[in-house]
Chains A and B, each alone.
Chain A
Amino acid sequence: MTKILLADDSAFMRKILTNILTKKGYTDLIEAVDGEETVAAYTREKPDLVLLDIVMKKKYGTEALKDIMQMDPNAKIIMVSAVGQEKVIEEAIQLGAKGFVVKPFKEEEVLSKVKEVLG
């Protein structure tokens, strides 16, 4: 079963993402509420996919992205953020993110990106 890590400091966002994913049968979900927790959860759980917010407490999502990629160069990470500038998106892709979804998002945007990255 596909295990997905939802990293977002907002419970509201995690809930929306959870609903979108469970409806499509992705029910093995874990959550992290800040950057440090994200890295720890990744190390511990080895999820198949991470949906990663950028602006979070303790460690920004971009920092967490760096850490995870260093640990596991094959990690599948999709950034989900309201920071939508080209510069940030480019940086994230360069750091190894497999995709970028800008908030506010539509259900289909998230799902198609998830499908695409999981392959």
Chain B
Amino acid sequence: MADDMSEYKELYLKEAEELLQSLNSSLLEFEKNPTREDLIKEMARCAHTLKSNSSSMGFEKLAELSHSMEDGLLMLQESGIEASDEIIDLLFECFDYLEVSVDKVSTGEEEPDNTDLLKKLEVLKSTDIKKRSKEESGVKLAERPQTIRRLRSIKVDIKILDKLVDLVGELLTATMRFQNLNSTYKIKEFDKIINQLNMLTEDIQYEVTEARMIPVGQVFNRFPRMVRDLAKRENKKVDFTIEGSDIQLDRTVLDQIGEPLIHLLRNSIDHGIESPEERIKAGKPETGKIHLRASREKNAVIIEVIDDGAGFDEDKIKEIAIKKGVITEEEAKTIPKKQLLDIPFLPTFSTSDKVTKVSGRGVGLDVVKTKIDELNGSLKMETEKSKGTRFILGLPHTLAIIKCLLTYVGEERYALPIIDISRIVNIEESRMQHIEGNEVFILDGEDIPLIRLRDVFNLPRKKDRKLTVIITERTQEKNGIAVDGIIGEQELMIKSVTKTLKKIKGIAGATILGDGQPAMVLDINGLLA
């Protein structure tokens, strides 16, 4: 798509559909009355408008074909002859192409190849249209397309899907409350119905969630062109590859990852990949590689941007971090690599000295981080000087209803997204150690930092001998979260919270539990920050 035209896409599609409809009905009518000039004129107008709108949107193949079709129609009009079956067939073929192409671009896919069809149109136009009769067919035509197609999919406004999710959430809550009530009243006859309700709700939830899923390819496939253009502007050679385009994500999530991904790709082109000369000097192939990969992992979708560029220079990060007062010189000597690599995600940080048109002055990575945090996702970076950089994005594959582990601390209940949880363990207080002011325990040979929710919420610590600890894991980073106890797993509908509550770190949202009482949903990233 052409730059900055995305805001017009919806209108473009709506109008394209109207134009195709008019084109189709005129064409069907024209087949019966192959001399009616008014129909030719109307078809030419449709093709013309579709051409000019498509070229404005940057849909070149669509524009090319509708242009050629319009020319053909105008020639036909001028010649004043009765259109042969061959011509009408070709017009239908053009219509089919246009319909399929509009459908493709509506979902962000590539326009199909139009070379064969263009050739046919050219052949037809270059021969004297008057001389063409039904017998002398110089062009092999495709089978007559079916003009009535069975509808296998329909378009639904995303707002309706959002509303459906809301309703399913309410249904979940109502079902849970019913179940809770009956655990008090214990009416046997209700048990079966409650079971059935539970199953139905689960089914509906599954279907509604599925209906919102869209392949990431829809966002990915605008990148090859963008990478090409940016690389060219920076005088760099880049071989850009994509993997996992068919992985699906919730529409809401997908809508919001485009910008962060653009930032990461820009970062790779601008700061990662070196100039061809530098690469050759470093003994690398002159063309750099950027790989964009999506994959599924339990309940999350992982998106990686991998380049074989210069990588981040750890010493340089330290130097700038000290200069900007993020860490002291003393801290710089002992800071673990993992923590060091989080620094570039802080606001106004940039290791590149030059300011470029592409990624500007270090505004970028922090924006990406903020956006991904908002989505309750995670962002990590792995980098090695002169070998390359890998950004790893972890995203929940849906936002609205998520499976949570319900826990309690004092009198309050807190939900933790299951996506982040790897296991639950009981650990003796005596196993806690203190390293650099942090509480840590060793589990299966690994040091795991501990966060006590009682501390977080300013409650006095309990004097139990054993702690219930939830082990969370995100992009290979483990943490322990101590709670008073576990209630169980539940599907919960997350409601967003007011700004005041949002300011409290570690709260992702709120939910209504089966007994009608609210509970906070914890944002594990926020708690750790």
Chain A contact residues, CB within 8 Å of chain B:
9-13, 15-16, 55-57, 81-83, 103-105
**Can you list 26 residue pairs at the A/B interface with Cβ under 8 Å?**
A9-B49, A10-B52, A10-B53, A11-B11, A12-B8, A12-B11, A12-B53, A12-B56, A13-B52, A13-B53, A16-B56, A55-B44, A55-B48, A55-B49, A56-B45, A57-B42, A82-B48, A82-B51, A82-B52, A82-B55, A83-B48, A103-B55, A103-B56, A104-B52, A104-B55, A104-B56
A7 to chain B, nearest CB (A): 13
Q: Does B85 contact A (CB under 8 A)?
A: no
Interface positions, chain B 1-18, Cβ under 8 Å from A, are: 2, 8, 11-12, 14-15
CB neighbours (8 Å) of B55 from chain A are: 82, 103-104
Q: Determine which of B42, B44, B49 lies in contact with A10 in the assembled complex, contact meaning CB atoms within 8 Å.
A: B49
How far, in whole Å, are A105 and B57 apart by their CA atoms in the complex? 11
B179 to chain A, nearest CB (A): 51
CB neighbours (8 Å) of A104 from chain B are: 2, 52, 55-56
CB neighbours (8 Å) of A82 from chain B are: 48, 51-52, 55
The residue in chain B whose Cβ has the minimal distance to the Cβ of A107 is B4
Interface positions, chain B 75-90, Cβ under 8 Å from A, are: none
How far, in whole Å, are A83 and B71 apart by their CA atoms in the complex? 11
How far, in whole Å, are A12 and B14 apart by their CA atoms in the complex? 9
CB neighbours (8 Å) of B52 from chain A are: 10, 13, 81-82, 103-104
A81 to chain B, nearest CB (A): 8
A105 to chain B, nearest CB (A): 8
Lowest 4 A-B CB distances belong to which pairs? A82-B52, A104-B56, A103-B52, A55-B48
CB neighbours (8 Å) of A11 from chain B are: 11, 14-15
CB neighbours (8 Å) of A105 from chain B are: 56
How far, in whole Å, are A15 and B45 apart by their CA atoms in the complex? 19
CB neighbours (8 Å) of B42 from chain A are: 57
How far, in whole Å, are A13 and B48 apart by their CA atoms in the complex? 13
* A82-B55, A104-B55, A104-B56 known; A12 vs B45 contact (CB < 8 Å): no
CB neighbours (8 Å) of A57 from chain B are: 42, 45
**Contact residues on B (Cβ < 8 Å of other chain), bracket:** 10 to 19
CB neighbours (8 Å) of A83 from chain B are: 48
How far, in whole Å, are A13 and B5 apart by their CA atoms in the complex? 12
CB neighbours (8 Å) of A12 from chain B are: 8, 11-12, 15, 53, 56
How far, in whole Å, are A34 and B356 apart by their CA atoms in the complex? 47
* A10-B15, A103-B55 known; A16 vs B8 contact (CB < 8 Å): yes
A9 pairs with B45, CB closer than 8 A: yes
CB neighbours (8 Å) of A16 from chain B are: 8, 56
How far, in whole Å, are A55 and B44 apart by their CA atoms in the complex? 9
Per-residue 0/1 for B1-38: is the Cβ within 8 Å of any A Cβ (1 yes, 0 no)? 01000001001101100000000000000000000000
The residue in chain B whose Cβ has the minimal distance to the Cβ of A15 is B11
How far, in whole Å, are A56 and B45 apart by their CA atoms in the complex? 7
- Known A10-B49, A57-B45, A103-B52; 18 more pairs at CB < 8 Å: A9-B45, A10-B53, A11-B11, A11-B14, A12-B8, A12-B56, A13-B53, A13-B56, A15-B11, A55-B49, A56-B45, A81-B52, A82-B48, A83-B48, A103-B56, A104-B52, A104-B56, A105-B56
How far, in whole Å, are A107 and B389 apart by their CA atoms in the complex? 38
How far, in whole Å, are A10 and B56 apart by their CA atoms in the complex? 12
CB neighbours (8 Å) of B14 from chain A are: 11
How far, in whole Å, are A9 and B51 apart by their CA atoms in the complex? 13
The residue in chain B whose Cβ has the minimal distance to the Cβ of A9 is B49
CB neighbours (8 Å) of B15 from chain A are: 10-12
How far, in whole Å, are A61 and B8 apart by their CA atoms in the complex? 24
CB neighbours (8 Å) of B2 from chain A are: 104
Interface positions, chain B 39-68, Cβ under 8 Å from A, are: 42, 44-45, 48-49, 51-53, 55-56
A15 pairs with B8, CB closer than 8 A: yes
